[in-house]
Amino acid sequence: MDDATERSGARLSRRGGGGAARRAERTATRIEFARFITRNIPDLEILNAEAIEIIEANAEIVLEEIGVNFVENPEALRLWKDAGADVDGERVRIPRGLARQLCKTAPSQFTQHARNPERNVEIGGRNLVLAPVYGPPFVRDQDGGRRYATIGDFQKFVKLGQMSKWIHHSGGTVCEPTDVAVNKRHLDMLHAHMTLSDKPYMGSVTLPERAADSVEMSKILFGADFVDQNTVMTSLININSPLTFDGVMMGALEVYARAGQACIISPFIVGGAMAPVSVAGTLTQVLAEVMAGVAYSQLVRAGAPVIGGAFVTSIDMNSGAPTFGTPEAAQITLGAGQLMRRLGVPFRSAGSFCGSKLPDAQAAYETANTLNTGLLSGVNFMLHACGWLEGGLVSSFEKYVMDADQLGILHRLAKGIDISENGQAMDALREVGPGGHFLGSAHTQANFKEAFWRSSVLDYKPFETWEDEGARDTATLAAARVAKMLGEYQAPDLDVAKAEELNDYVARKKAAEPDSFLS
């Protein structure tokens, strides 16, 4: 076992964007990226056989006796009725076993293609794909404080993602570009992901026609035939917990499923509000909701790639605020992983969750608790893996690079322990013996460069040096790293004709209707 996968993609840029001097400088910058994680360590199975049996049985009772609502979606109701469900108004009651049976056509693993094939990701199985924060209307950085996000901020986050070694996926709404009309911002967001990054990305879900735009733009980028035959987007479909599937979100799901594009189908749950205050009760609801949603995706198109899972956190019963990094959230994440593996669909959960307003110790405790849980729960697709702040209201530039750095730990931890002859190091133990020192041993000399994971953000300096350099805290160190990464950013090559066609598509669609800042 070695770091070959981590280094395999390290390469020099092939093309600069400016004059000769800039080109030379850029050529000197090494951009590293890591392959998605493939776990070589066990999952933590927190539910025993009895607990699994109870929760799975209860989820079937929920579907059969309580049912789920498919709102403003007559076509969905027809599909469910044809499949054998009991449809009463918008309420769909699903006979025991039917939803789980329908889920069987969903692939347990699929490839999401990137325009740079080296960045393709495998979603499912023992793999873990990391994507950045999604959805905040605000951004924060040390210089500018907290403010509404703009498309300029959005582009900076996409550039950071492209430059972040441990981030495998460019994500989706890395922040809401609030300075662009609501009915047009999906075009600018997709354009940024497609042109500023060559990692895989997510499509728009806010209306079915925006999902269709996402498919069309992907066809320009990849070619229409390729998109017809391959998955090039993974998009985020929220379930309205408890037990409700709204027509707009399902409309976007239908567009993607028919186009063979992947969706995450997962509830957004603040426990105590949208689900019971108990872990087992929440897991029951999550499983019922995911089974209904995944089953519906397979009714739309059998074999459509989907990801099940949950965004779940608990509530502070004093203030009503969502809380993060809590033991209940960890238990739900671990339990949901077991339930999704048994369901046979890739699992989405966890992220760089925190409630803190600043990228401080609270943010880091809560995030580290959640990232570690995510790795051990068997998450296959971790949205929000970096940059999340203030309960998801804020995308933080500094926290983005702080979290992205921590993700390197997950990569290394997941490799497991090397027990090759070199890993056993018996020659070193013999060479050094009692009272000796390993720094100079042949084994150390041969292995030290790759032996230990090393942070690119955190401070390892002697106290006096650190003090002389301004006694900087982590956020301040991270601010410097943000500036460095953006300064060294290099746009990935893009075929000129495709770039022009994408520009034309965006311009044409923007011109076709007036701006709306409402919806």
Find the helix or strand (DSSP H, E) in which 49 lies.
Answer: helix 49-61
According to the binding rule CB under 8 A, does residue 456 interact with a copy of itself?
Answer: no
358/363 Cα distance (integer angstroms): 7
According to the binding rule CB under 8 A, does residue 91 interact with a copy of itself?
Answer: yes
308 contacts 290 by C-beta, under 8 angstroms: yes
Rank residues 61 and 507 by Cβ distance to a copy of itself and give the closer one.
Answer: 61
Residues 6+ apart with CB under 8 A from 291: 59, 63, 99, 100, 103, 343
Rank residues 62 and 180 by Cβ distance to a copy of itself and give the closer one.
Answer: 62
Please pick, from the candidates 429, 483, 484, 516, the single residue that binds a copy of itself as defined by CB under 8 A: 429
Please pick, from the candidates 203, 305, 346, 359, the single residue that binds a copy of itself as defined by CB under 8 A: 359
According to the binding rule CB under 8 A, does residue 442 interact with a copy of itself?
Answer: no
According to the binding rule CB under 8 A, does residue 3 interact with a copy of itself?
Answer: no
Rank residues 37 and 158 by Cβ distance to a copy of itself and give the closer one.
Answer: 37
According to the binding rule CB under 8 A, does residue 463 interact with a copy of itself?
Answer: yes
Please identify, among the stretches 191-199, 204-212, 282-290, 500-508, the one whose residues bind a copy of itself according to the rule CB under 8 A.
Answer: 282-290
Other residues' Cβ atoms within 10 Å of the Cβ of residue 468 = 10
Please identify, among the stretches 30-38, 55-63, 160-168, 216-224, the one whose residues bind a copy of itself according to the rule CB under 8 A.
Answer: 55-63
Task: Count how many Cα atoms sit within 13 Å of the Cα of residue 488 in the half-sphere of its side chain.
Answer: 19
Please pick, from the candidates 473, 495, 500, 513, the single residue that binds a copy of itself as defined by CB under 8 A: 473
Which pair of tokens denotes residue 100?
């789980």
According to the binding rule CB under 8 A, does residue 144 interact with a copy of itself?
Answer: no
According to the binding rule CB under 8 A, does residue 413 interact with a copy of itself?
Answer: yes
Q: Select from 123, 106, 315, 289 the least CA-distant residue to 200.
A: 123
Rank residues 153 and 398 by Cβ distance to a copy of itself and give the closer one.
Answer: 398
Q: Is 390 left (phi over 0), alpha (psi -120 to 50) or beta?
A: left
Residues in region 284-313 near a copy of itself by CB under 8 A: 284-285
Binding-residue total with a copy of itself (CB under 8 A) = 125
Which pair of tokens denotes residue 231?
């998955």
Partners of 11 in the β-ladder: 31
Please pick, from the candidates 20, 50, 143, 512, the single residue that binds a copy of itself as defined by CB under 8 A: 50
Please identify, among the stretches 127-135, 183-191, 195-203, 456-464, the one whose residues bind a copy of itself according to the rule CB under 8 A.
Answer: 456-464
Rank residues 114 and 485 by Cβ distance to a copy of itself and give the closer one.
Answer: 485
Residues 6+ apart with CB under 8 A from 307: 123, 234, 262, 263, 264, 265, 266, 345, 346, 347, 348, 380, 381
Rank residues 409 and 499 by Cβ distance to a copy of itself and give the closer one.
Answer: 409
Partners of 140 in the β-ladder: 146, 396
At residue 346, the 3 state secondary structure works out as coil
Residues in contact with a copy of itself, shown as a per-residue x/- string from 371 to 400 under the rule CB under 8 A: -xx--x-------------x--x-----x-
At residue 205, the 3 state secondary structure works out as coil
**Tokens 């093309």 found at:** 15
Q: Closest separation between CB of residue 444 and a copy of itself, Å? A: 5
Rank residues 153 and 403 by Cβ distance to a copy of itself and give the closer one.
Answer: 403
Q: Closest separation between CB of residue 15 and a copy of itself, Å? A: 32
Partners of 311 in the β-ladder: 268
According to the binding rule CB under 8 A, does residue 416 interact with a copy of itself?
Answer: yes
Please pick, from the candidates 448, 468, 483, 516, the single residue that binds a copy of itself as defined by CB under 8 A: 448
231/301 Cα distance (integer angstroms): 14
Q: Closest separation between CB of residue 507 and a copy of itself, Å? A: 38
Please pick, from the candidates 66, 224, 302, 507, the single residue that binds a copy of itself as defined by CB under 8 A: 66
According to the binding rule CB under 8 A, does residue 466 interact with a copy of itself?
Answer: yes
Partners of 315 in the β-ladder: 322
Which pair of tokens denotes residue 112?
């999401």
503/233 Cα distance (integer angstroms): 19
- Distance separating the N- and C-terminal Cα atoms of the chain: 51
325/312 Cα distance (integer angstroms): 11
According to the binding rule CB under 8 A, does residue 41 interact with a copy of itself?
Answer: yes
Residues in region 209-268 near a copy of itself by CB under 8 A: 240, 242-244
301/314 Cα distance (integer angstroms): 34
Helix axes 279-300, 74-83, angle to 10 degrees: 90
Residues in contact with a copy of itself, shown as a per-residue x/- string from 309 to 348 under the rule CB under 8 A: -----xxxxxx-x-x-xxxx-xx---x-------------
According to the binding rule CB under 8 A, does residue 106 interact with a copy of itself?
Answer: no
